[in-house]
Structure 1
Amino acid sequence: MTTQALVPAVFLDRDGVLNEDTHYPHLEEHLTLIPGAAEAVRRLNGLGYMAVIVTNQSGVARRLFTLDQMNAFNDLLVRKLAVQGARIGAVYACPWHSDGSDPDWIHPDHPDRKPNAGMILKAMQDHPIDPARSFLIGDRDSDIEAAKRAGIPGFLFPGGDLSQFVDELLGT
């Protein structure tokens, strides 16, 4: 029997960290990468980190876009980063919201919706991730709270160049 070695992961919020938050982005024309996003992910990949997107997407519950549109946008983002040598290992998205208009996606406090830690914990269960060497980068307090609840450090990205932010985090 072989055991797979655990790898560190960087959990990344989507809107406002990897791509510009254009208020419920879900179409190809909405996708603009944050400056330095591909470079940051590529650098972390090179250091052995698995990059995992964890994103609240209440636009599905609010009927602003469909689950298929959300998934297509996530796939497009992953492909756009991959073209620049940045590998995303997994994407976890939470379409549920307490204030939705689609009854299929209304939930008072879904365990996956940040600040809850469900998406992070699922990723750790689904992949050989070492929580002791993992961290999260988000742009909202709810992201940082989700990291805390998952038992990993969380860092608040204030905007700007993600690659510079990652360099500062890593002390390089």
Structure 2
Amino acid sequence: MSVKITFDFVNGQIVVEGAEGNLLKLAEQAKSIAPNLSEIRIITQQKQSKSEIPNSVQATDTRTVSLRDFAKSLNLNNTYERIAAIAYHAIKIQGRASFSVKEMSDWFGLCGFKKPSIMSVAFSDTKRKYGYIDSKARDQWNITTSGENIIIGLLESKK
């Protein structure tokens, strides 16, 4: 039986790869020796492409923390740190190339944060005073190393 098992502690998942027949045998054995596991899923249908899977399903299956959960888990003291946290999630976790002022405004609402009265002014202050974000082009923003470091520090302090 040729099966490859990967323990991914960073993403909190175990990946098992191999031929379908071998994987079915392994899954059945796992169910019989560990009946108290909360969930063992066996899927034998054709794999769907990511574009065919609804977004709500993708979010739960990828095990990536949601923007709201990520932002709420951090001890953010001000608007500038909130902008940096959301920017960090957008760039580093979601893998986006950049984000806009409008998107950030929408994400503030999604996270349940009080929106600054003028988001573009908040962006300007976040860039000028703290250096957490920087503009790549007109309305294309990115997180800076300084912004990443403040969020990494907050992530490490909550451990």
* TM-score of the two chains, using structure 2 as the length reference: 0.27
Q: Which has the higher contact order (CA 8 A, sep 6+)?
A: 1
Bigger Rg over Cα: 2
* TM-score of the two chains, using structure 1 as the length reference: 0.25
